[in-house]
Amino acid sequence: MAKDAQDQRHSRNGGVHTGHHFLIVAYGIQSHLNPCRVLAHRLARLHDGSGPVLATVSLPVSAHRRMFPSSRAVDNDEDTATDGVVSYAPYSDGLDDGSMARDGEARARSRHATFESLSAVVATLAARGRPVTCVVCSMVLPAALDVAREHAIPLAVFWLQPATVLAAYYHYFHGHGDLVASRAADPAYEVSLPGLHRPLRIRDFPSFLVDTTGSMLAKIFNEAARELFEHLGDHGRTKTKVLVNTLDELEPAALAAMKEHLDVFAVGPVIGSSSSAEARIHLFNHAGADEKRYMEWLGAQAARSVVYVSFGSVWTYSEKQMEEIADGLRRCGRPYLLVLRNDGRQEDVSRSLDDAVLQGQGMVVEWCDQPKVLSHPSVGCFVTHCGWNSALEAMALAVPVVAVPGLFDQPTNAFLIEEEWAAGVRGERNSEGVFTGEELARCVELLMGYGPTAIEVRERVEALKGVAQEVVALGGPAERSLRSFVLEVGSNVG
């Protein structure tokens, strides 16, 4: 690959960069990759007293190869890439095919492999005159903690979810875990967490903290989260800094509460723009996506008339769920844009989808440029799984949300959207976990009709859009917070 452009960007002292160099270590999934990449770009736009700030994003080999198909073997020191501002260096997790280690022994081997590979990245960057001055890990990545400890490099955590979720995890592992676990089967039970201005119902907690199914994924994540939060709660060391992808204006109480325990910096919304170098990267094959076709179709629709439906980059539909979505869109009687990936689509789902297209008045695509779609004036509401990236994009672009949460932080996000910010409504699933067509149509009508809820939500999302624009403006609160983080990291270096 071409020689790293950052070699020409940094200040030198005997060939060694004397300013900050952040190594941002991310999981190889879409919801981590994109905000980490945007954060890297924003860091690289800053300057400290020693010169430019450098940023390198390190992804698993499998994700790195999707982003850079011409990349070579991971053990080749030259296998780095650049977009002209940020460098990218792969790490091996010992699997390198995008799969997850399931049993304890396999996870231990993968953690060790990740540690060894990231240590090699740190050594390579130092040998090139660009020593890492801070490791930033996305969410819960145990091997990144190992690397920071072993090499005595300051560690920061990039929390990709709201501050309310950060508070839920922190307090779960610091005194409230037994209570939450004992009530996990009671969705209406309310838990008061220190500093939050209202209780969280069990149904509004991050799903892994209240899992009653014995999910192996929940167990794996919770074990890693426990280690991270025990590290964060160890005040015998310098407090670990936590960058949170949120706004002070959205979560003032949660941020203020967490600042009593952690060094927290609100740096959101960390979302990309279709028209900038921070544009989204999509890891799935979407070579057949026809942007011109769907954008022209949106342009032919009336203002605020289109129902945009997308359940994220990893969602798969059962035949029953697809039938209900198709039924709900027919019931709405409004034009719709439905996103459904082709890879892994089951034949029975395809049949339901074909029927919906034939009978409906919308368009189905396997991929779209979501920020570009959400910013189109014809889009009237967004039916979403309520991942935090999607929630922030909707908020920043003034699109009312039908929140249909499933796993992870999504239940908490839905609670915030509906009850804290009045930026949408929550769609309820039936006893079988299906989001019915009737419920879809009810929620859409609430947001796109002419009743008081629709009026209130439209006014509210417009106000939130204005807040978001002020926060991310040049020299605004997000930049100032990020700059404060860089300066504080600098005070702990050397």
Compute the C-alpha angle 200/156/21, nearest 5°: 150
Pairing of strands 363-365, 336-339: parallel
Pairing of strands 81-82, 87-91: antiparallel
| Buried-exposed string 45-82: b where 16+ CB fall within 10 A, e elsewhere | ebebeebbbbbbbbbbbbbbbbbbeebeebeeeebbbb
Distances in Å between the alpha carbon of 394 and those of 249, 455, 462? 16, 17, 11
231 CB-side CA count, 13 A: 21
Q: Residues 6 or more apart from 65 whose CB is under 8 A from it? A: 71, 90
Collapse the DSSP code of 336 into the 3-class scheme (helix H, G, I; strand E, B; otherwise coil) and give the result. strand
Of these residues, 32, 41, 64, 376, which one is catalytic? 32
Helix, strand, coil share (%) of the chain residues, nearest 5: 45, 15, 40
For residue 385, indicate whether it is catalytic: no
Q: Residues 6 or more apart from 430 whose CB is under 8 A from it? A: 436, 439
Distances in Å between the alpha carbon of 419 and those of 319, 387, 408, 446, 455? 31, 17, 19, 15, 16
Report the C-alpha gap between 206 and 228 in whole angstroms: 16
Both structure tokens of 99: 């799969």
The dihedral of CA 227, 228, 234, 236: what is its sign? Answer: positive
Give me the residues paired with residue 57 across strands.
24, 88
Pairing of strands 200-201, 306-310: unpaired
Give me the residues paired with residue 244 across strands.
159, 266
Q: Are 493 and 238 in contact (CB under 8 A)?
A: no
Q: Are 43 and 19 in contact (CB under 8 A)?
A: no
Pairing of strands 306-310, 263-266: unpaired
Active site members: 32
